[in-house]
Copies of this chain bind each other. A is one copy, B any other.
Amino acid sequence: MAEKITVEIISIGDEILYGQILDTNSQWLGETLTSAGFHVVHRTSVGDTSQAIANALKAAQSRANIILTTGGLGPTKDDITKKTIASYFNVDMQMVPEVLEHIRGLLASRGRTLNDLISQQALMPTNGRVMHNRTGTAPGMWFEHEGHVFASMPGVPSEMKTIFAEEILPALKQKFKPPVIIHSKIKTLGVPESVLANMIEPWEDALPSHIKLAYLPSEERVMLRLTGTGQSKEALEKELAEQVALLTPYIEPHIFAYGEDDMEDVVARMLKERGLTLGVAESCTGGMISHVLTRKAGASDYFKGGVIAYSNAVKTSALGVKNDVLDRVGAVSEESAHDMALGARLALGVDIALSVTGVAGPDGGSDAKPVGTVFIGLSTAQGTFARKFSFAKVRRLNMVLATQNALFMLIKHLKDNK
């Protein structure tokens, strides 16, 4: 195997050290670099002092081929990264006319004009190459020094990501020619990591050595990620697709999505393909299902609305759940979930309705219906049914699990009824 191409990420700013912000930049860079075949070996965060930044650059140069910095490129006096870098390389700063023009245009589009302070954003160390910042005023910068590449980006996440993806990563690939790395993701719900591992053991044991499997569990689901390393993108893509096809039969009922899709993306695609409309009746999820369905654009094509029936009175008045059901078996029951789904479908005039009623906690549990007891219902013109689930002890997690399982129930129903 070829020599690893090593990277160190340095994030700059007192606000990181003091915990005022989460360093999402370093995480995103780590993930993006790893996916592209680079090897992140160290991360450092330092405050807004020249000494700390210079020391960090020097130490990083002893560890990595590539040194990336984020932060400290703003126009105020706190922002000293650029001056410190110039001094580290022992060069002067010069005004870069193309950057100044870009800044002038950007300000003009916001109805503002250039002033002395902002003009300084167009100053750069003389040994630097501009990495164009399409969305902001602080240019990214590329330096080559003693056999190392240094690249510097502003700390605003959207600007950092744009500069890195559009300018710096292509330049790094061209210079260092990392191996081709391809990922495939398989997303599962409802089965713990250790159980999944048992189920797929024969397949995993037969994986070739250049394809690695990682289990990436979050609290509500487990993502399997295949990583193939090689020289040919096409050959790797074909091999990974074959491996995913071999894996699928072992765990098919638990797979809700492949690739970058979330649960709601799969729901959206299936409903749009069939021209079906959806509505929801939510009790213990309190609006989370509607929120998850609508947070991505285009939901109005299939999602028509919902009833948040948090109180029993609303379950009765808006969804037609009978008082007899609420008195006899309670709002948290299969019958109530059934009637809520049916009532929502009729009241909202949709093809399919989902319903959720349960005990999210921390209060409201009983011996018969402990916290985490949730009923999920589904209604179509062909019929209505509801199913009982037992989730977790924590309110937020119960809401997430109820939401994800309700949408997964819909996906399974659509698959089974083509």
Contact = CB atoms under 8 A, between A and B. Distances in A.
Interface of A: 16-24, 26-34, 40-47, 52, 59, 214, 216, 279-280, 282, 286-291, 293-295, 297-300, 303-311, 313-314, 317-318, 347-349, 361-363, 395-396, 399
A122 to B, nearest CB: 22
A295 B397 CA distance: 10
Nearest to A62: B55
Contact of A318 (B282, B286, B294, B305): B305
A35 B395 CA distance: 28
A45 B42 CA distance: 6
15 contacts: A19-B31, A19-B34, A19-B40, A41-B52, A42-B47, A43-B43, A44-B44, A280-B308, A287-B308, A290-B308, A300-B310, A304-B310, A305-B309, A317-B348, A318-B318
Which 5 pairs, one residue from A and one from B, show the smallest C-beta to C-beta distance?
Answer: A286-B294, A287-B290, A19-B30, A19-B31, A305-B314
Q: Which of A17, A31, A42, A298 has the most CB of B within 10 A?
A: A17
Given A17-B41, A42-B46, A313 B307 contact: no
Contact of A295 (B31, B317, B396): B396
Copies of this protein in the assembly total: 2
A43 B45 contact: yes
A44 B399 CA distance: 35
Contacts of A309: 305
A360 to B, nearest CB: 8
Contacts of A20: 30-31, 214, 216
A363 B298 CA distance: 8
Contacts of A291: 286-288, 290-291
A42 B40 contact: no
Given A305-B309, A308-B308, A313-B349, A28 B19 contact: yes
A17 B40 contact: yes
B304 A295 contact: no
Contact of A307 (B26, B29, B307, B363): B307
A22 B399 CA distance: 23
Given A19-B31, A304-B310, 20 more contacts: A17-B42, A19-B26, A20-B31, A22-B23, A26-B45, A41-B47, A42-B45, A42-B52, A43-B43, A59-B59, A286-B303, A290-B291, A294-B399, A295-B396, A295-B399, A306-B310, A313-B349, A314-B349, A317-B347, A318-B347
Contacts of A287: 282, 287-291, 293-294, 306, 308
